[in-house]
Structure 1
Amino acid sequence: MERRNFLKVSVVGATAAAFGGASWLSAFSASAADGDGPYGPLLPADANGVALPEGFTSRIVGRSLEKVAGTDYLWHMAPDGGACFADGDGWIYTCNSEVPLLGGVGAIKFAADGSIVDAYRTLDKTDVNCSGGRTPWNTWLSCEEVDKGEVYETDPFGANPAVVRPAMGRFKHEACAVDPDRQVIYLTEDVPDGGFYRFTPTTWPDLSAGTLEILVGPEDQTSGAVTWATVPDPSAEDDDTRDQVEGSKPFDGGEGCYYAAGTCWFTTKGDNRVWAYDAANSAISLTYDADGPLSGVDAVTGRSNGDLFVAEDGGNMEICIITPDGVVAPFLRVDGHDGSEITGPAFSPDGTRLYFSSQRGTGGGTTDPGMTFEVTGPFRG
């Protein structure tokens, strides 16, 4: 295999080096190899069309417009961002629907043995719910990806009604990630000149009021210190939020967002980059800046050992792993879904299962049904 430098710039600062015992600082300063990941090469696709390393298996847990097994709930169209929540001995996978005007959120409840015991809606009649973020207080923030879209705080357990959070800004939301250490929430914006935002609640963790800020820095800056400035009008009544602060740094199509141990990773699809924001030092850097093997960067999640899992929108429909020791490699590939995108990667609370969706399935059109998958296997760390 040709060796290339995929990880271009280290995460800055000592706090960023602590991520589940893995030294990100030293790893991201080193060269990365385009080769097999820690789980080995992908085997031929299984009966579900998923190519996985040896020892891993897949199943389909939801098909759009079909009842989730053992329930009366029709799984929604265009499954997108998702997250898992512990529920007694089992867990819940909650998932957005990126459908205009109907949108909303659905959920699948699993028993301790992985069997499906229920499925239901937690949000209805919102607009193009793309991604979002999980909170430490066990709610799911569902984000609308439309002009002047909003953030809805939803209850994955289905007991409480969803609540809109206008203080978090009205813009073309993509994803968000909670930083409990600084009691803030980071947000991405999916437009070619989108902002990277930070929301600070007035009273943590009440999201009904607070201050929305946008990251400030030179347009071509890829590393070094940055600052934040308050967005004067988060409601964007007259001007878009990204246009209200002079000198705000544009990002080319903000996508996934994931926080762990002092670092917020976020992706920009327009230039195929994975960024890192070092919260302790208020600095940015590039984690990934290349054409392959990871192409069409989108949703991102991680594990406690420091592995990042980045899903592709397009490309060859893979979820790639970026390891702390500098390897970028495919972890799985979905065959026959060329017109779709991979969405909603999230691990079960015990880390043994990975959930994700193919938003438009094998048809690839905007009205074609999606599929939601579960992968089980010997995940490390």
Structure 2
Amino acid sequence: MLRRTFARTGPWTARALDGSLWRAAAAGGSAPGEEGPYGPLRSPDRDGLALPAGFDGRVIARTGQPVGGLRWHAAPDGGACVPDGEGWIYVSNSAVPLLGGASAIRFRPDGSVRDAYRILSGATLNRAGCATPWRTWLSGEGTVLGRIFECDPYGVRAAMPRLAMGRFKHQALACDADRGVVYLTEDEDDGCLYRFRPVDWGELIEGELQVLCHAPGTAPGRVAWRPVPSPASLFTPARHQVPEAVRFARPGGCHYADGVLALTTTGDGQVWAYDATAERLHVVYDGGRLLTDPPHRDRDLYTAEDGHTLEISVVTPESPAPGPLLRLTGQDRSKITGLAFSPTGHRLYFSTRPTLARRPTRSLTAITGTTYEITGPFRP
């Protein structure tokens, strides 16, 4: 199953889209190519990384082991990079019950680790997240009354809960600077798609949480946004407060670019596209069939696959079939998480962690994880 798909959309951004279906939609359902745009994979190195010629990989951090003065957290999940002078910072969530949160690793310009530190504690099951245009990290809790925390990747300010963004089982987030909103998905069998419109873009303390609803009339695909009366209610779930809300089968990842929000729903095997300008919603991919051209196909997409084979593949505008960038061996029952490019685009970070539902034990010692760095001649 594919867990993350990335579109490199700027000098320091790498945006994620959860769900196994985006790769199929972007590739038209084609089988993975034997060779990617960077050429064939070499034999695995001592860390189990098989990479093309010209690329190198290394382990940055392992759960419980020190990195930059910090013991790296368990179950590393969603991640992102932000610039830090001539260096950069990689932030990573921890998908651990009760002891979740997020940490950061600061890198010097030559790629060496300067230090590492916690940026969020006292949270639980922190899975997906999102970097904001003003260089903070939004970390969501994957619990029924989960919160969004806004964290400082630079470690100066304390993380703060943003309760106006809603309390529900948070999955993915995406920033839409064109409209000054943040999209949020809800990991429920009848979950909804939300957007948060802050009073001032760049300040998430106050604002209105809205839910996507069916618009009146008969025009196909027409939708509208309605306010959620009580976003932080402890008694009535947000998705049950507006009867007209559009219900999705377990909304997963979302990714905004060029006026379109792409959304996967893992419960029914679909990829959706929301046209934010026309306010229309339609299905792009459904049960093995590509219905329309997938959004954001004009750029390279990096996809992570877990299951029998752990791979990161590349879908290019020139080729309909994804080809492998790397293959990871020796980590059964694991998933790839937290893909993010450094500001220059020459370094790719990602983590692996066990698939928790498949573990025979719930002990924290079993929720390990490893964070990697890949360097090489990535395409611009």
TM-score by length of 2: 0.81
- Check the 8 A contact 1:92/1:156 in 2, yes or no: yes
Other-structure match for 1:322: 315
Other-structure match for 1:47: 46
- Check the 8 A contact 1:361/1:369 in 2, yes or no: no
Shift in CA distance, 66/288, structure 1 to aligned 2, threshold 3 Å: farther
Other-structure match for 1:244: 241
- Check the 8 A contact 1:320/1:328 in 2, yes or no: no
CA distance in 2, matches of 1:217, 1:321: 35
Over the aligned positions, Cα root-mean-square deviation in angstroms equals 2.8
Other-structure match for 1:352: 346
CA distance in 2, matches of 1:75, 1:184: 32
SS of corresponding position for 1:167: helix
CA distance in 1, matches of 2:214, 2:310: 33
- Check the 8 A contact 2:183/2:194 in 1, yes or no: yes
Among 204, 220, 228, the residue aligned to 1:231:
228
Which 5+ residue runs of structure 2 have no aligned equivalent?
Answer: 1-8, 11-24, 290-295
CA distance in 2, matches of 1:205, 1:67: 34
Among 299, 308, 315, the residue aligned to 1:306:
299
Kindly report which structure 2 residues correspond to 1:197-346, keeping only aligned pairs within 5 A, or say none: 197-217=194-214, 224-289=221-286, 306-312=299-305, 314=307, 316-325=309-318, 327-329=320-322, 330-346=324-340
CA distance in 2, matches of 1:288, 1:349: 32
The worse-fitting range, judged by mean Cα deviation, of 43-52 and 231-240 is 43-52
Q: Relative contact order, CA 8 A, sep 6+: which one is greater?
A: 2
CA deviation string 1:26-64 (max 9, x = no partner): xx8995643344334444433222233333221110100
CA distance in 1, matches of 2:285, 2:47: 30
Once the two structures are TM-superposed, the CA of residue 315 in structure 1 deviates from its matched residue by 5.7
SS of corresponding position for 1:357: strand
Shift in CA distance, 188/43, structure 1 to aligned 2, threshold 3 Å: farther
SS of corresponding position for 2:236: coil
Once the two structures are TM-superposed, the CA of residue 202 in structure 1 deviates from its matched residue by 1.5
CA distance in 1, matches of 2:355, 2:56: 19
CA deviation string 1:265-293 (max 9, x = no partner): 3333334444332222223344555669x
Once the two structures are TM-superposed, the CA of residue 98 in structure 1 deviates from its matched residue by 0.8
Other-structure match for 2:92: 95
CA deviation string 1:193-252 (max 9, x = no partner): 21111110022221111111122249xxxx944322222221133321122222322223
CA distance in 2, matches of 1:233, 1:307: 40
- Check the 8 A contact 2:265/2:271 in 1, yes or no: yes
SS of corresponding position for 1:359: strand
Shift in CA distance, 55/229, structure 1 to aligned 2, threshold 3 Å: same
CA distance in 1, matches of 2:350, 2:270: 21
Aligned amino acid, residue 227 of structure 2: T
Other-structure match for 1:7: none
CA distance in 2, matches of 1:350, 1:341: 26
Kindly report which structure 2 residues correspond to 1:49-88, keeping only aligned pairs within 5 A, or say none: 49-68=48-67, 71-88=68-85
Aligned amino acid, residue 66 of structure 1: Q
SS of corresponding position for 1:356: strand
- Check the 8 A contact 1:190/1:253 in 2, yes or no: yes
- Check the 8 A contact 2:26/2:320 in 1, yes or no: no
Shift in CA distance, 162/31, structure 1 to aligned 2, threshold 3 Å: closer
Query: For this pair of structures, how many residues does the alignment match?
Result: 339
- Check the 8 A contact 2:309/2:327 in 1, yes or no: yes
Other-structure match for 1:13: none
CA distance in 1, matches of 2:26, 2:341: 28
CA distance in 1, matches of 2:301, 2:227: 30
Asked if residue 187 in structure 1 is aligned to residue 184 in structure 2, the reply is yes
SS of corresponding position for 2:354: coil
The worse-fitting range, judged by mean Cα deviation, of 261-270 and 186-195 is 261-270
Kindly report which structure 2 residues correspond to 1:131-142, keeping only aligned pairs within 5 A, or say none: 131-142=128-139
- Check the 8 A contact 2:173/2:182 in 1, yes or no: yes
CA distance in 2, matches of 1:51, 1:253: 33
The worse-fitting range, judged by mean Cα deviation, of 188-197 and 173-182 is 188-197
Task: Give the % identical residues.
Answer: 48
SS of corresponding position for 1:86: strand
CA distance in 2, matches of 1:109, 1:92: 4
Aligned amino acid, residue 328 of structure 2: V
Other-structure match for 2:158: 161
- Check the 8 A contact 1:337/1:361 in 2, yes or no: no
Aligned amino acid, residue 206 of structure 1: E
SS of corresponding position for 2:71: coil
The worse-fitting range, judged by mean Cα deviation, of 113-122 and 322-331 is 322-331
CA distance in 2, matches of 1:350, 1:264: 25
